[in-house]
Amino acid sequence: MGKKGKKIDFTNIVRDKKLPILTLDARWHELFPEERKTSSIKELEQRVNNLLKKQGKMVNDIKDMKRLKSNLLKDIVDNMDIGKDLAGKANEKKLGKNKQFVNELNEKINRAMDELADMPYQIKIVNEELLAESIRVFYYELEENKDEIKEVTDWIAGIREELKNKILIKQDLETKNNLIYTYMHDILGAEIMELFDNQHGTKS
């Protein structure tokens, strides 16, 4: 297992760093396919994505409100000359409603702009939390991988030593066999040794 004794403040490590938005970062997704994400990472990823969607919606909503306000102001300017007849009174009533609507839109736009201005900070905070959690996972995985690498390295070293010993044993046995075979060949002769080879397979 990895070294769990050390306590590291991962949140403090990533605070106020210039970071990419992780949920938009292809490299982050490569390191964290769906099946590898912890429940904490999934929850933080969802929060970042929700904030990004909210930010995008707010931008569009503000554009729509500004467009509507522009149309209302144009309508107000176009109907500034109010007659004394019934049509004029209707226009006056419509003009009043449009002015009221413009005032309401101004308030909504200002509130939305204030909220929108705060969105990058909100996204930054949750994105930092997501990176801190990601680094925590990376850290403990690196530690565990180091332990496993050491185990495999030790195993390879052991196998290498064993293989070297086996090769020496093989060479020693082959040398002994060659000495025995040569001695027997010299004593018994080639014909007898050929028969011996066929019976016992002592020569390849």
pLDDT in tens, 140-180: 888 889 999 999 999 999 999 999 999 999 999 999 988 88
Burial of residue 45, with CB atoms counted within 10 A of its CB: 0-12 exposed, 13-18 middle, 19 or more buried: buried
Structural domain boundaries in the chain = 10-152, 164-200
Positive or negative CA dihedral for 192, 197, 199, 200? positive
Predicted pLDDT at 184: 79
- Under the banding of pLDDT at 50, 70 and 90, the label for residue 10 is confident
- Percent of all residues in the chain with a pLDDT value above 70, rounded to a whole number: 85
Average pLDDT, integer, range 187-196: 74
Alpha-carbon Rg for the chain in angstroms: 41
Tens digit of each residue's pLDDT (9 = 90 or more) over 95-136: 788 888 899 999 999 999 999 999 999 999 999 999 999 988
Q: How far apart are CA 48 and CA 33, in angstroms?
A: 17
CA distance 193 to 198: 9
**Confidence band of 194 (pLDDT split at 50, 70, 90):** confident
Predicted confidence (pLDDT) at residue 59 exceeds the cutoff of 60: yes
- Residues 125/48, Cβ–Cβ less than 8 Å: no
Most confident of 16-25, 164-173, 187-196: 164-173
At a CB cut-off of 8 Å and minimum separation 6, what does 48 contact?
Answer: 21, 22, 23, 123, 126, 127, 130
Torsion of the alpha carbons at 19, 21, 24 and 30, rounded to the nearest 10: 50
pLDDT at 204: 47
Mean pLDDT of the chain: 85
